[in-house]
Amino acid sequence: MLVLLASLSLGTSALALDLTDQEQAGKRLYREGISSSDAQLQARVGASDMTVPASVLPCASCHGNDGRGRAESGVRPPNLDWQRLALGQGVREANGRSYPAYSDSSLARAIQQGVDPAGNRLDPAMPRFELTLADQRNLTAYLKRLAQERDPGVDEGVLRIGTLLPATGPLAEAGQVVRAVLEDGLAQLNQQGGIHGRRLELVVLDPGYQPDSAERALQKLLEQQRVFALVSPLVPMLDQRLATLLAPQNVPLIGSTPRSGGSAQIFDPLPGLPVQLLSLAGHAREALGLAPGDLRVVYAGNEQAGVAEQVRDSLLQQGWAPPAVQAFDGQAVDGQGILFLGRAQAFAELAAALQAAGRQPYLFAASSQVAGGVARLPEQWSQRVFLAYPYVPEDWTEQGLASLAGLQQRQGLDPRQASLQVNTLCALRLLSEALKQIGRDASREQLIAALEGLHDVSTGLTPALGFGPGRRQGMAGAHVVAVALPGPRFTSVSPYRPVPDSP
């Protein structure tokens, strides 16, 4: 019993950093420039001593939430690790200054007057803050803890990654596939020593079917399991809320874009539906010769309405003149070319309704939504149906194929479910690439910045992937594939290339 208790308490102390009230107040000052009293704090900036509210220039804006400094322009804000500043003997160096260890009082002088312990003037890029005694105490107390304040999920020897995969219901099978791919991938990384000396640990929770249960599972993943980041969750029931739930703690997610749109924290290795449909529109214009007024956007199912509007807006921006989006409800819609959003069943119904009315426009849709239904289309639709595919077998290199086959063999996975396997592999690949780049002092902020900086990552299974500032989808276009019937036989007719100004 005693042993058990001891190990339990050890466990929690390693997980959470409990700050005293004083340290909490110091943290607010550090991150937001806010005093524990009602007073507004001021700072003097630059060589001219201009006064600005400290809330405009909190310490964290230059030294970073983790205190490690950001080398953005000119003089680098030094690392504020207390170990470096104050503990131990010897001379410190920063930006060409040498000085002995800081004490509480020389630290206050640096922050308030801009001189270091040796009396050197700090570069005027470091503001001089006007602090009360209490504020200075709070701040000093927090600076002493700052270095220990890591984001959740980053321990000495372990980095925890989480995901939500339904264990029962319609998504259970997909959940098992994703789980197998993730476990396999992490096991491989761990065999090679993990990343920066940490073993990667996967925490999988079951989100259930309902938005409520999924939200509770997410909360548990973040607060009790304290995972650092999320990878490839299957939670369509959280579509509306996911971005809002991840934002406050800046939790990175690498997987898929919720239908309600992405956010700064959410990275999708593959192109979203709008981008895929825009690739089809490009083909409609260039290869099929459709005129600006010929295309229209048709969707089936309320949950597709938002994306349909997005697609139409992007079409407008690209010089198309589509009429208002239309909800499909069994009617034969007009138009030379129809960009369709919805499920395979509704797609087949649309084709049947059009055929009954004697119409045969071009039909365009994302393979991920309708591919399952095209085999049943009548022969008349041969070469009239075009599907967007993020990747096609021609993208697969020998090495990519070998690693996919190895995975399938080790985990007993069905090669017919390759696309889910490839999606998950890509997410894991991008995550591990970014984790390697940020080094051992991992923070969520740094992970997001590293993901954003990834480009030309080759997976051997897809076109090269990458993100960018404001760009959260790893591919900015899709292959266009024509469907020949009966069969169906699929032929790639337009290779992947980025859609200009894609969303």
List of residues contacting ligand HEC (CB under 6 A)? 57, 59, 61-63, 75, 77-78, 80, 94-95, 97, 107, 110-111, 116, 122-123, 125-127, 129, 139
Going through 108-193 in order, the beta strands assigned E by DSSP cover 128-130, 158-164
The helix or strand, by DSSP H or E, that contains position 280, with its residue range, turns out to be: helix 273-286
The residue (of 67 and 262) whose beta carbon lies closer to ligand HEC is 67
The phi-psi region of residue 420 (left if phi > 0; otherwise alpha if psi is between -120 and 50; otherwise beta) is alpha
The residue (of 64 and 261) whose beta carbon lies closer to ligand HEC is 64
Tell me if residue 446 falls in helix, strand or coil: helix
Q: How far is the CB of 78 from ligand HEC (least distance, A)?
A: 4
* Measured distance CA(354)–CA(333) in Å, rounded: 7
Instruction: Locate 244 and state its tokens.
Output: 């809002």
The residue (of 148 and 224) whose beta carbon lies closer to ligand HEC is 148
The residue (of 79 and 421) whose beta carbon lies closer to ligand HEC is 79
Going through 78-218 in order, the beta strands assigned E by DSSP cover 92-94, 97-99, 128-130, 158-164, 199-205
Q: How many CB atoms lie within 10 A of CB 193?
A: 10
Judge residue 32's burial from the number of C-beta atoms within 10 Å of its C-beta, 0-12 exposed, 13-18 middle, 19 or more buried: middle
The residue (of 42 and 443) whose beta carbon lies closer to ligand HEC is 42
Q: How far is the CB of 470 from ligand HEC (least distance, A)?
A: 24
Q: How far is the CB of 141 from ligand HEC (least distance, A)?
A: 12
The residue (of 127 and 335) whose beta carbon lies closer to ligand HEC is 127
The phi-psi region of residue 209 (left if phi > 0; otherwise alpha if psi is between -120 and 50; otherwise beta) is alpha
First and final C-alpha spacing in the chain: 58
Q: How far is the CB of 136 from ligand HEC (least distance, A)?
A: 9
The residue (of 78 and 175) whose beta carbon lies closer to ligand HEC is 78
Instruction: Please answer whether residues 26 and 139 qualify as being in contact, where contact means their C-beta atoms are separated by less than 8 angstroms.
Output: yes
Q: How far is the CB of 32 from ligand HEC (least distance, A)?
A: 11
* Measured distance CA(15)–CA(23) in Å, rounded: 18
Q: How far is the CB of 2 from ligand HEC (least distance, A)?
A: 43
* Measured distance CA(482)–CA(226) in Å, rounded: 46
Q: How far is the CB of 96 from ligand HEC (least distance, A)?
A: 8
The residue (of 132 and 224) whose beta carbon lies closer to ligand HEC is 132
Contacts of 224 (CB under 8 A, 6+ apart): none
Q: How far is the CB of 28 from ligand HEC (least distance, A)?
A: 11
Please identify the residue of the shown chain whose CB is closest to the bound ligand HEC.
59
Instruction: Locate 168 and state its tokens.
Output: 């029962």
Q: How far is the CB of 146 from ligand HEC (least distance, A)?
A: 9
The residue (of 110 and 181) whose beta carbon lies closer to ligand HEC is 110
Q: How far is the CB of 151 from ligand HEC (least distance, A)?
A: 20
Tell me if residue 494 falls in helix, strand or coil: strand
The residue (of 123 and 349) whose beta carbon lies closer to ligand HEC is 123
Q: How far is the CB of 172 from ligand HEC (least distance, A)?
A: 50
Instruction: Locate 77 and state its tokens.
Output: 């804000």
The residue (of 142 and 267) whose beta carbon lies closer to ligand HEC is 142
Tell me if residue 343 falls in helix, strand or coil: coil
Instruction: Please answer whether residues 261 and 243 qualify as being in contact, where contact means their C-beta atoms are separated by less than 8 angstroms.
Output: yes
Helix axes 418-438, 444-452, angle to 10 degrees: 110
Judge residue 491's burial from the number of C-beta atoms within 10 Å of its C-beta, 0-12 exposed, 13-18 middle, 19 or more buried: exposed
